Amino acid sequence: MPAPQHRLRFAPSPTGYLHVGGARTALFNWLFVKKFGGQFLLRIEDTDKARSTDESTRAIYDGLGWLGLQWDGEVVYQGGNLERHRADALRLLDNGTAYRCFCTQAELAERRAAAEATNEAFKYDRRCDRLDSAEIAQRLAADMPFVVRFRVPEGSTQWVDLVHDEIAFPNKDIEDFIVLRTDGTPIYNLAVVSDDIAMAITLVMRGDDHISNTPKQILLYRALGRALPQFAHLPMIHGLDGKKLSKRHGATAVGDYQHLGILPGAMLNFLALLGWSPGNDVEVMTMDQMIELFDPAGLQKKAAIFDPKKLEWMNGQYLNLTPADELFARVAPAMEAAGLATPTELDARREWFVALLDLLKVRARTIDDVIRQATPYFRGVIEYDPDAEAKQWKDRPATAELLVHVRDSLAALDRWEPAAMEEALRALAERLGFGEKAGKLFQPLRVALTGLAASPGIFDVLVMLGRDRSLSRLDAAVAHLRITV
RNA sequence: GGCGGUAUCGUCUAGGGGACUAGGACACGGCCCUCUCAAGGCUGGAACACGGGUUCGAAUCCCGUUACCGCUACCA
């Protein structure tokens, strides 16, 4: 009772970075395989030599690696299959489903322009298909360059799409497309079909910008005498303005989000919700749940708009849900990049740092937020945020005096622990006539300790800073308040 | 222009003839909690593109219109 062996592939062209749209396509392919069994293959479509770069290929590996979307088996480089592509094109010529076309690009461009001028739809007029064999032989003998064109048959081409149900194209609207260039290299549609056949792909799941390629590819499968795979066309991802996601929408590469401090799990979860819903109001899922719940029937037909705000929210959820100890590995490199501490230094006081992470992660949405908030705990001298000073240190002489009292109360403590601190400080607030409003004490203290108006609970801050540093920061704040009038 | 696709709150979506005075989430506002900021809880405003059918009954089915998107290369 072997499960049907699904074979899916993600086939990006290495001409830019791994886009969030591409990442989502990869994710759905991956989810399908994890859910229903089979193989998730990776094919780099590098036949456009002019635009393909090694750097882009690296970006694809890095992006997929960061997201944890591991593919099965060896990577296939389309450029390595040129001979087979050519052989398939020649097979088409042999079995009469394609013909040689001697029209030059210049001629074609001219005719296209002429058609556009009269507002007509341009379609290749098949003139080279009407050449008789003697003429063809003569041109061949004269070494005239030619392309191989596929002869689109009569009728209509349709398929049952996994997300769109039935889609049909009248063949009369499809022109006799080129499959092999004059230099003998294959055109996209041929290369894809040749490779998908060779890789025994059973389900082609890709962006719906490929819908109009699909009838051509189906025609190619038939002409090559091969069984069709299934097709699933995923909706596009658009920017906030409803247009196709592009550079001017800001961060669109997966790597951008990695560097912005987004967790891969959050990215995946967010992407999964763009164009798919598990139903039942489920949103935040573990990877296992996502696999368990994945169902192509829940795939959306409509393009989705990428909302960075919701991604951040999702990331906040993940930050909150991830144990601080696990976060360590992701935060440590960012700490080093920010110049706050090296991973070695952090490791030396791992327990302390994990405790700090526990306090910070709940109020952060990105790793960058965590780093920002962690800063006061790593600097010898802190900066006072002007807004915080303005708000909490209004009356500077009085604040200085207040902080001296606070310092004395804290310095008098036997043990440096929250309960004792709270008791002492609340008693002090009482003595100073603040009554229940101990916040009047805590807030100026917070600024003295962190330089900021917002932080974790004040006793947690005191504990994380430790006795000596807390007291010296109070001294520094008092000095600062007295000097700068 | 031609062909194809799509159409539920600002955004992501639930919904697959009656359960819909249309549910959840993000964002926005209010309240609670509270030493601040978050988190959390409660709460408010906010949508079935339009027009025809089909039906006892349409967000759900059909047709048309409109809008938007994609393709229209010897790019992928």
pLDDT digits (tens, 9 = 90+) for A262-295: 999 999 999 999 999 998 899 999 999 999 999 9
Distance (Å, rounded) from C-alpha A439 to C-alpha A429? 9
Model confidence band, residue A1 (pLDDT cutoffs 50, 70, 90): very low
Cβ A248 to strand B below 7 Å: no
**Residues 336-375 (A) near nucleic chain B, CB < 7 A:** 362-364
Q: What is the pLDDT of residues A305-341, one digit of tens each?
A: 999 999 999 999 999 999 999 999 999 999 999 999 9
A182 CB less than 7 Å from any atom of strand B: yes
Protein chain A, residues 374-433, with a C-beta closer than 7 Å to any atom of nucleic acid strand B = none
pLDDT of residue A240: 82
Find the Å distance, CA of residue A439 to C1' of nucleotide B31. Answer: 21
Chain A residues 308-327, Cβ below 7 A from strand B:
309-310, 312-313, 316-317, 320
DSSP for A429-462 reads HHHTT-TT-THHHHHHHHHHHHSSS--S-HHHHH
State residue A484's pLDDT score. Answer: 63
Asked if A53 and A85 touch (Cβ cutoff 8 Å), the reply is no
Residue A401 in tokens: 């005096």
Q: State the CB neighbour count (10 A cutoff) for residue A33.
A: 22
Between A475 and A243, residue with greater pLDDT: A475
How many CA atoms lie less than 13 Å away from A69 in the CB half-sphere? 33
Check if the beta carbon of residue A179 is closer than 8 Å to that of residue A155.
no
The nucleotide minimizing the C1' distance to residue A102's CA is B74
Summarize the confidence of residues A166-190 as an average pLDDT: 95
Q: In this predicted model, what pLDDT tens digit does every residue of A144-175 receive, in sequence order? A: 999 999 999 999 999 999 999 999 999 999 99
Distance CA A191, CA A388 (A): 62
CA A285, C1' B40: Å apart? 19
Q: How many CB atoms lie within 10 A of CB A191?
A: 25
Q: Is the pLDDT of residue A434 over 90?
A: no
Lowest mean pLDDT of A26-40, A76-90, A108-122, A223-237, name the range: A108-122
Residue A13, CB, strand B, below 7 Å = yes
> Residue A248: what are its φ and ψ, rounded to 5°?
-70, -5
Bridge partners of A10? A42
Whether the per-residue pLDDT at A380 is higher than 90: the answer is: no
Q: Is the pLDDT of residue A430 over 70?
A: yes
Determine the average pLDDT of the residues in A213-230: 97
pLDDT of A4 reads: 64
Q: Are residues A139 and A104 in contact, defined by beta-carbon separation less than 8 angstroms?
A: no
Question: Would you state the pLDDT for residue A246?
Answer: 72
pLDDT band, residue A482 (cuts 50/70/90): confident
Q: In the complex, which nucleotide's C1' lies nearest to the CA atom of residue A145?
A: B74
Q: Is the ipTM of this complex over 0.85?
A: yes
Instruction: Give distance CA A33 / C1' B66 (Å).
Output: 40
Q: Environment class of residue A165 by beta-carbon count within 10 Å: exposed (0-12), middle (13-18) or buried (19+)?
A: exposed
Q: How far apart are the first and last CA of chain A?
A: 83
- Those nucleotides of strand B lying less than 7 Å from any protein Cβ are 1-8, 10-16, 23-27, 35-40, 68-76
pLDDT reported for residue A51: 87
- In 3D space, the residue among A311, A377, A331 whose CA is nearest the CA of residue A20 turns out to be A311
Residue A2: pLDDT band with limits 50, 70, 90: low
∠ CA A263-A267-A270, rounded to 5°: 135
Q: Compute the mean pLDDT over every residue in chain A, rounded to the nearest whole number.
A: 94
| pLDDT at position A57 over 60 | yes
Q: Which amino acid, residue A35?
A: K
Q: How far is CA A281 from the centre of its chain?
A: 23
Residue percentage of chain A with pLDDT more than 90: 87
- As a whole number of angstroms, the distance between CA A471 and CA A464 comes to 13
Please give the model's pTM, rounded to 2 decimal places: 0.93
